[in-house]
Amino acid sequence: MSEDDAHTATRRGSGALTGDPSGAVAGTAALMGEYLTAVTGLLETIRDEEAGAVHRAAALIADHVARDELVYIYGPGGHSNLAAQEVFFRAGGLVHISAILDGGTLLSDGALRSMAMERTPGYATVVMRDNRIGAGDLLILVNAYGINAALIDAARYARQEGATVIGVSSRQHAEATAPDHPARHPSRENLHDLVDVHVDTKVPVGDAVLNIDGLAENVAAISTFVNAYVLNSITASATAELVRRGVTPPIWRSGNAPGGDSQHATFLDRFQSRVRWL
User: Residue 154 in contact with residue 74, Cβ under 8 Å?
Assistant: yes
Supply the pLDDT for residue 15.
Answer: 41
Supply the pLDDT for residue 262.
Answer: 86
- Is 5's pLDDT higher than 50? no
User: Residue 169 in contact with residue 195, Cβ under 8 Å?
Assistant: no
User: Residue 72 in contact with residue 249, Cβ under 8 Å?
Assistant: no
Percent of the chain with pLDDT over 70: 93
Higher pLDDT, 221 or 253: 221
Give the integer Cα–Cα distance in Å for 92 and 232: 9
DSSP reduced 3-state for 153: helix
Q: What are the tens digits of pLDDT across the range 110-132?
A: 999 999 999 999 999 999 999 99
Query: What single DSSP character describes residue 92?
Result: T
User: Which burial class, exposed, middle or buried, applies to 121 when counting CB atoms under 10 A from its CB (0-12, 13-18, 19+)?
Assistant: middle
User: Residue 73 in contact with residue 90, Cβ under 8 Å?
Assistant: no
